[in-house]
């Protein structure tokens, strides 16, 4: 049995997907553009779709109109480990400088009780990054870890969400769980200071904050789950889809408001077929779907269902 494909963060831009991906690939280590596609004749017109990787982590970005805006409810931890890289601090500072160009510091780069070097930056495109040097006694984590901030109506649900995600995925496993030892108004005792979970080989972090931030999860950042077959799509859809009005083209929202894309792995191959007529048929087929129907996609593509 093949290993599950990693969860892929998906970034929704108005028009800047190619520009942003090129910028990130210029300033991040172990980075590159993997593929650029165009999805034609969608409700948003022709949409650029960019597959790229940063620090070994796969990403996808789309230019699909001004419908969603990035906010810090989903950010990305960047872990610089001095025990494995003597230049960790210098590399952190260099990347902070690059991301700060045209960006806004949400927490200044400084020493904090949880890290000798940490800062939270919202870059020129609105995407948020948390840069930190790792503690030497901490369990190792990947360079990039997506992080969910549970605030507003979702405040206090971070640990519940991590346990839920661990139950959804066959190989789900909880990692760190650090709760508030006492009330820290407006945050309550027992809510999550920090926690993480491993799903499909992808670490996902979470924190609670009851402060009035004024933002919430939306579709600007979603997570792609690439499925082997219809049975896997059906299983994830049944567990993750909780908001019927959010269901469209394989997208769904879970009960915490986080957006997911439950997609068949074969769709990527179909959309990269050099036969434009085939690609157009598949595109028009999936634009009408909520949950993906693999047999219907294969029929549109021209294969036997």
Q: What's the token pair of residue 239?
A: 């567990």
Q: CB of 226 within 8 A of CB of 51?
A: no
Looking only at the bridges linking them, the beta strands covering 251-253 and 57-63 are unpaired
CA 290/CA 252 separation, integer angstroms: 8
Check residue 1 and give its pLDDT. 39
Check residue 303 and give its pLDDT. 57
* Fold agreement (8-69+220-301, 74-208): no
Question: What class, spelled out in words, does domain 74-208 have in CATH?
Answer: alpha beta
Q: Which CATH superfamily is domain 8-69+220-301 in?
A: 2,3-Dihydroxybiphenyl 1,2-Dioxygenase, domain 1 (3.10.180.10)
Instruction: Give the domain ranges of the chain.
Output: 8-69+220-301, 74-208
Residue pointed to by tokens 């200044």: 108
Check residue 137 and give its pLDDT. 72
The one-digit pLDDT tens for each residue of the chain (305 residues) are 344 567 999 999 999 999 999 999 999 999 999 999 999 999 889 999 999 999 999 999 999 999 999 999 999 999 999 988 999 999 999 999 999 999 999 999 999 999 999 999 999 999 999 999 987 777 789 999 999 999 999 999 999 999 999 999 988 999 999 999 999 999 999 999 999 999 988 999 999 999 999 999 999 999 999 999 999 999 999 999 999 999 999 999 999 999 999 999 999 999 999 999 999 999 999 999 999 999 999 999 985 44
The contacts of residue 173 (CB under 8 Å, 6+ apart) are 166, 197, 198
pTM: 0.95
For 248-280, b/e burial (b = at least 16 CB within 10 A) is ebbbbbbebbbbbbbbbebbeebbeeeeeebbe
CA 286/CA 44 separation, integer angstroms: 15
């Amino acid at each position: 049995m093949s290993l599950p494909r990693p969860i892929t963060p998906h970034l929704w831009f108005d028009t800047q997907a190619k520009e942003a991906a090129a910028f990130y690939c210029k300033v991040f280590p172990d980075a590159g553009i993997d593929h650029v596609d165009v999805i034609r004749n969608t409700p948003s017109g022709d949409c650029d779709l960019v597959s790229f990787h940063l620090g070994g982590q796969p990403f996808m970005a789309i230019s699909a109109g001004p419908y969603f805006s990035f906010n810090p409810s989903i950010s990305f931890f960047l872990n610089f480990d001095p025990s494995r890289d003597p230049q960790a601090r210098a590399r952190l500072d260099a990347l902070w400088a690059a991301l700060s160009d045209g960006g806004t510091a949400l927490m200044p780069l400084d020493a904090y009780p949880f890290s000798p070097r940490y800062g939270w930056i919202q870059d020129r495109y609105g995407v948020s990054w948390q840069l930190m040097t790792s503690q030497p006694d901490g369990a190792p984590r990947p360079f990039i870890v997506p992080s969910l901030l549970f605030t507003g109506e979702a405040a206090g649900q971070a640990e519940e969400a991590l346990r839920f995600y661990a139950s959804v995925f066959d190989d789900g496993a909880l990692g760190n769980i650090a709760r508030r030892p006492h009330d820290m108004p407006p945050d309550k005792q027992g809510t999550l200071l920090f926690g993480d979970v491993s799903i499909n080989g992808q670490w996902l972090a979470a924190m609670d904050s009851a402060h009035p931030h004024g933002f919430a999860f939306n579709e600007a950042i979603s997570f792609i789950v690439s499925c082997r077959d219809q049975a896997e799509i059906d299983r994830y859809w049944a567990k993750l889809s909780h908001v019927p009005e959010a269901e469209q083209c394989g997208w769904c929202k879970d009960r915490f408001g986080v957006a997911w894309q439950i997609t068949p792995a074969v769709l990527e191959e179909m959309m990269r077929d050099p036969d434009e007529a085939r690609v157009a048929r598949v595109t028009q087929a999936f634009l009408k779907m909520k949950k993906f129907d693999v047999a219907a996609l294969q029929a549109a593509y021209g294969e036997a269902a």
